[in-house]
Amino acid sequence: MKTKANLKRLLVVAGMFFVFVFSLKAENNENVRIIMMSQKRAMLLVSNPEKQKATLNIIEITTDQNLYSGRITKDLAYRVIFDLSNLPDGKYKFKVDFNNKTFEKKIALAGDEFNII
């Protein structure tokens, strides 16, 4: 009886792992997410299932000025927190390029408020 219970648990865990891996490989904008935090900080989360070289740019939308450019480690998942409190009000985009794809997330800063657009 104990063996059957362990087998069921193993199958459930294997199924959850399969769903997780499959969802990471989905080609959608969920590979790049922004979480807005307090005090004008933003957390950028990047899922890179193929562990490809990736680049990150932060661009001011109106002037198309590149404010930040950097490389992302070739990890399955990457996370970084940006302090946006010194940026003037305006619209910005986080642009991530990897695996011949471009992912963009846009934000708007206005006074003490900031939103994902």
The tens digit of pLDDT for each residue in 25-83 reads 334 467 899 999 988 999 999 998 888 889 999 999 999 999 999 998 888 889 999 99
Is pTM beyond 0.85 here? Answer: no
Report phi then psi at 30, rounded to 5.
-75, -5
Q: Which two tokens stand for residue 57?
A: 């740019």
Q: Is residue 17 part of a domain?
A: no
CATH of the domain at 39: 2.60.40.3080
- Provide the 8-state DSSP code for 70: E
Q: Is residue 12 part of a domain?
A: no
Domain tally, the chain: 1
Instruction: State the average pLDDT over residues 80-103.
Output: 93
Predicted pLDDT at 94: 96
Q: Is residue 2 part of a domain?
A: no
First-to-last C-alpha distance (Å) of the chain: 53
Q: Is residue 9 part of a domain?
A: no
Q: Is residue 13 part of a domain?
A: no
Q: Where in the sequence is the domain holding 110, given as residue range(s)?
A: 29-116
Q: Is residue 78 part of a domain?
A: yes
Q: Is residue 38 part of a domain?
A: yes
Sole residue written with tokens 């657009």: 117
Q: Is residue 103 part of a domain?
A: yes
